[in-house]
């Protein structure tokens, strides 16, 4: 990067559905005792979507809230990136352009990208790099929504690692030359050994939903949900590789930012089980107080890092000048981290 170039987060908004479900209520659906959900899986409660809680709809709500909060004219947005989930309202549809229409970002160009729940750091990197390459690009709106929770099969125990999933969305404005909340570096790892471990088999071009499937209620139910073809193998691979991949993404981001593990003041991690969350911190040598664990929200997808950052700011764990690591991971598997220096640039 040019020595005099910087890009910073102007502000952000997170949208979460109001309705929630407790560990006790979830227990009845997944046949797992409440204390296991709370203690082992880190779920005290999670959000439940309503009829208007779909990815682009929720991302639009977050975007409108953000623009109102910072009193920003949407016509001054130069680019709009939808970095949310590709499972959204419609098939063969561009969510970003719909959001552009809804908020009146008439002078922007809009496009979609996907990297599952690791997409937020990637979108930040792409936005910063494009600003660097084009001095006329000043304001980039990044939005995302996720309702993969609607695809989880509560009757399938191999999907228990996804029982924490919740609907959620975010919007974030990144600006070139902004002297606050500077984006310092990004690290991304895609580990292809997990490439076929989680997917929805039916409804794509390879396996369309046929009349035969549609005539059988149970087949149709399963056809509309995710599958985990090799649960035991996936669990073994995650046990061997997830922590090194998580920490590897952080180390790559720190290298990009010319920082070290000891410089991290706060880490915001997408919701995973407590053992994994604090295992990442222990491997990096980060004090366990320098985080917020999302036990009352579940895994809200692309919004998790910003949600944890928000709680950290509210609780006084994030102060001006602090180095914050925003760490996410998504099935496939992708691991991505953004390093942000929060507050004003000195």
Q: Measure the CA–CA gap between 111 and 294, rounded to whole angstroms.
A: 30
Strands 139-146 and 168-176, sheet pairing: antiparallel
Which pLDDT does position 2 carry in this prediction?
56
Cβ-contact 284, 247 below 8 angstroms: yes
Enumerate residues 6+ apart whose C-beta is below 8 A from 124: 142, 172, 174, 183, 186, 338
Question: So what's the architecture of 184-344 in CATH?
Answer: 3-Layer(aba) Sandwich (3.40)
Q: Measure the CA–CA gap between 2 and 262, rounded to whole angstroms.
A: 25
Enumerate residues 6+ apart whose C-beta is below 8 A from 118: 188, 328, 329, 330, 332, 334, 335, 336
Domain ranges of the chain: 7-179, 184-344
> What global pTM score does this model have?
0.97
Mean predicted confidence (pLDDT) in 174-194: 98
Q: Rounded to the nearest 10 degrees, how much is the dihedral formed by the CA atoms of 210, 217, 299, 187?
A: -20
Which pLDDT does position 4 carry in this prediction?
84
Residue 143: count other Cβ atoms within 10 Å of its Cβ: 32
Which pLDDT does position 345 carry in this prediction?
79
What are the two backbone dihedrals, phi and then psi, of residue 152, each rounded to the nearest 5 degrees?
-80, 135
Query: Can you spell out the DSSP letters for 53-69?
Result: --HHHHHHHHHHHHHHH
Which pLDDT does position 174 carry in this prediction?
98
Q: Which tokens sit at 310?
A: 């928000």
What confidence tens digit (pLDDT) does each residue in 152-165 have? Answer: 999 999 999 999 99
Q: Is the fold of 7-179 the same as that of 184-344? A: yes
Mean predicted confidence (pLDDT) in 44-65: 98
Which pLDDT does position 42 carry in this prediction?
98
Residue 212 has pLDDT above 80, yes or no: yes
Q: Measure the CA–CA gap between 334 and 119, rounded to whole angstroms.
A: 9
Question: So what's the architecture of 7-179 in CATH?
Answer: 3-Layer(aba) Sandwich (3.40)
């Amino acid at each position: 990067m040019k020595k005099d170039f910087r890009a910073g987060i102007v502000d952000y908004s997170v949208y979460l559905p109001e309705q929630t479900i407790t560990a006790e209520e979830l227990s009845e659906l997944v046949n797992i005792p409440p204390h296991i959900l709370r203690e082992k899986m880190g779920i005290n409660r999670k959000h439940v979507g309503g009829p208007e809680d779909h990815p682009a709809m929720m991302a639009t709500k977050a975007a409108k809230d953000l623009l109102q909060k910072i009193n920003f004219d949407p016509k001054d947005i130069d680019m709009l990136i939808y970095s949310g989930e590709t499972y959204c309202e419609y098939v063969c549809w561009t969510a970003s352009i719909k959001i552009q229409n809804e908020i009146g970002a008439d002078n922007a160009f809009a496009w979609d990208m996907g990297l599952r729940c690791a997409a937020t750091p990637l979108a930040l990197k792409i936005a910063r790099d494009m600003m660097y390459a084009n001095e006329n690009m000043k304001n980039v709106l990044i939005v995302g929504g996720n309702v993969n929770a609607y695809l989880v099969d509560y009757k399938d125990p191999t999907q228990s690692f996804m029982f924490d999933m919740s609907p959620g969305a975010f919007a974030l404005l990144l600006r070139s030359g902004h002297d606050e909340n500077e984006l310092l570096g990004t690290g991304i790892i895609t580990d292809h050994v997990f490439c076929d471990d989680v997917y929805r088999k039916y409804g794509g071009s390879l396996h369309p939903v046929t009349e035969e499937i549609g005539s059988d209620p149970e087949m149709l139910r399963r056809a509309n949900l995710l599958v985990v073809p090799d649960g035991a193998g996936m669990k073994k691979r995650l046990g061997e590789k997830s922590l090194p991949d998580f920490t590897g993404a952080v180390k790559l981001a720190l290298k990009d930012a010319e920082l070290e593990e000891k410089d991290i003041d706060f880490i915001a991690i997408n919701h995973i089980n407590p053992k994994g969350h604090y295992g990442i911190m222990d491997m990096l040598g980060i004090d366990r107080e320098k985080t917020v664990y999302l036990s009352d929200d579940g895994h809200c997808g692309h919004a998790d890092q910003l949600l944890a950052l928000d709680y950290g700011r509210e609780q006084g764990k994030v102060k001006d000048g602090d180095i914050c690591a925003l760490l996410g991971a998504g099935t496939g598997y992708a691991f991505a981290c953004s390093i942000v220096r929060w507050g004003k640039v000195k």
